[in-house]
Amino acid sequence: MYATKPERDTLLGFEISPDIQERVSHIHVFLADNEDTDGVERTVDTVMQTLPSAKLHKITGMGHFTMGDMGTEKFPELKEAALSSS
């Protein structure tokens, strides 16, 4: 997906401000059980440890949530999370 490991590391190597939980009402994190991009699962683990109020949505068979991985434009789990948070 990313041309080089440094590009991927730059994208996934961000710092999380724990006080973001105080500035937003909901945090939703989505992870597919067949995610194959190196570093994504580790990053999700870091997010969940840093932001314990975040809700993790584990989705079956959606890969990296791209059209190619999902095979559809529909993402009802995301829609439901967005609507329930409003």
pTM exceeding 0.85: no
- Sign, CA torsion 23/14/83/56: negative
Exposure class string for 60-83: b at 16+ Cβ within 10 A, else e: eebbeeeeeebeeeeeeeeeebee
Q: Which domain holds residue 53?
A: 5-85
Q: What's the structural domain count of the chain? A: 1
Q: What is the CA radius of gyration of the chain?
A: 14
Q: Would you say residue 1 has pLDDT above 80?
A: no
What is the token pair recorded at 72?
A: 């559809």
Condensed to tens digits (0 to 9), the pLDDT of residues 15-38 reads 889 999 999 999 999 999 999 888
pLDDT of residue 7: 73
